[in-house]
Structure 1
Amino acid sequence: MTGRRPVSAGLRLSLTTLTVLPLRPGPVDRRTGALAMAWAPAVGLALGAALAAAAWGLTGLGLAPLPCAAVLVVLLALLTRGLHLDGLADTFDALGSYTAADRALAIMKSPETGPLGVSAIAAVLLVDAAALSALVARHGWLLIAAAVAVGRLGITLCCARPVPPARPDGLGALVAGTVPLAGCAAWAVGMVAIGGFAGQLAPGSDWPWSHWIRAGLAVLLAAGAVLLLARQCVRRFGGITGDVLGAACELATAVALLALSTA
């Protein structure tokens, strides 16, 4: 593939992997996988825009902030087929098993969900709903979009060089270590800019630089949480898997929502 074809194939792979859209990416190799993971924050921005539009519409119909936030949590799970939540549960079940790497990977691959995995999902959804409720109450529509985009930046960071795959096959083997550090840094700066701009446009914005500082902290804290997760997974499993990418996404989204929802 040359010219625009690998770029479009990477975007299609990103959309079909990270959303409910049933697109056909065509031939898939590590170059396509790298582009797909590099596109992840842009796909997150599109998902966030859909959530922001839904929040605006629901509040316009008179729905209170907390029920609106609950609907948004369900909508995001539907738009992503719940795959990231599944990855979160599988990853935490495996991390909490305290077994050898091969056994932990088998636990991660099992269709069963243990108590730690269920607890991880419940904790993340609780944080998401609470933070979204605060953002809806402030009419921070663009901040919702920014937080969801930062969550998908977590996927990009997990695929940064030189993070290895935990298995020789699967999504992790396809995308682990494919995204250059410069690309991750560029997206991080872009997410700070988007979050700062969104905060500036939110009703009741406070002193001029606070929204930029808050956006920077959101990206920094989300990235820190993802890097700690990736480091632990490399130590325990020898690398990352597709489930770890889902866990990174959910963790980064929750941290970003929490940081951006602060008054």
Structure 2
Amino acid sequence: MSAPSRPSPSDALHGLRFAFGTLTVLPVRVSRWDRPAARGGMLCAPLAGLVVALAAAGAGLLLLFLGAGTLTAAVATAAVPAVLTRGLHLDGLADTADGLGSGKPAEDALRIMKQSDIGPFGVITLVFVLLAQVAALSHAYGHSWSRGALAAVVAAVTARLALTLAARAGVPAARPEGLGAAVAGVVPVPGALAAALAVLAAATAAGAALGPRTAALAAVAVLAALAAAELLLRHCSRRFGGVTGDVFGGIAETAATTALVVLSLG
């Protein structure tokens, strides 16, 4: 058996295109949908999250600078990621909630998730998740503008890191088609762990600029968010037989919400 080829500069470029073209609304054309491009794209997912995060934090800080209250800034900060992803992750969260809440066998649950409408479980989940995000951001901004901005950045980047980990080798796709099938199992486990350590170190360093307690809180936020995402991933894998694009969206929103709640504490 021949050894796998090393990624080329072309693979890296197409990986970046894949990440930004599928995870943001930025006008980036995805020209390759093969496994190497998907692997690079999922490894670059936290970078796409960083761009979204900076825009979200910038919107909140601008409103605060203009005299808006922390609640208004929190709403804007929570809205920007939804806008920059066309609500893709929120839609996935709602569909995943409908599938899990249906209590039906995997095949029927997957069919429910694929429908265009949103059921009661999805609506309830969206309401509470968005309320939790806005409340956490408002409290973080109330603590300090910098804490709120840090929370927005850490949450958005960690949410995309959760996608990297969910796309690791060994996690199957629930369907033979769709975005979930395109990225399921493409990321080598060592690469996923390296990305996790890099984000954890960066979040801790960013928190350290606000003091040792915030540094520790940022680290806990990343770890707690990844733990919550992993629990949902495993549950969905057992329930549906693997992952789908909707499950990836649900994982991202779960991780983001968990990180925001943790960073609003203290």
TM range (shorter): over 0.9
Q: CA RMSD in A?
A: 1.5
Report the AA paired with residue 247 of structure 1.
Answer: G
String of CA shifts for 1:123-168, please: whole Å, max 9, x gaps: 1101110111122221122332122101111111111121000011
- Identical positions, percent: 44
String of CA shifts for 1:54-106, please: whole Å, max 9, x gaps: 22211110011011111222222111100100000001100111111111110
String of CA shifts for 1:219-249, please: whole Å, max 9, x gaps: 2211111111111111111100011110000
Partner of 1:155: 163
Counterparts of 1:22 and 1:110 in 2: how far apart (Å)? 27
User: Which range is displaced more, 77-86 or 145-154?
Assistant: 145-154
Partner of 1:199: 207
Partner of 1:69: 74
Runs of 5+ consecutive residues of structure 2 not aligned to the other structure: none
2:64 maps to 1:59: yes
2:242 maps to 1:239: yes
Partner of 2:216: 213
Q: Contact 1:16–1:24 at 8 Å: present in 2 too? A: yes
Tell me the TM-score normalised to structure 1 length: 0.94
Q: Contact 1:193–1:212 at 8 Å: present in 2 too? A: no
Partner-residue secondary structure (3-state), 1:96 = helix
Counterparts of 1:219 and 1:128 in 2: how far apart (Å)? 15
Partner-residue secondary structure (3-state), 1:178 = coil
Tell me the TM-score normalised to structure 2 length: 0.92
Counterparts of 1:33 and 1:115 in 2: how far apart (Å)? 33
Runs of 5+ consecutive residues of structure 1 not aligned to the other structure: none
Report the AA paired with residue 214 of structure 1.
Answer: L
Q: Contact 1:65–1:136 at 8 Å: present in 2 too? A: yes
Partner of 1:112: 117
Alignment size in residue pairs: 258
Partner-residue secondary structure (3-state), 2:44 = helix
Counterparts of 2:81 and 2:179 in 1: how far apart (Å)? 22
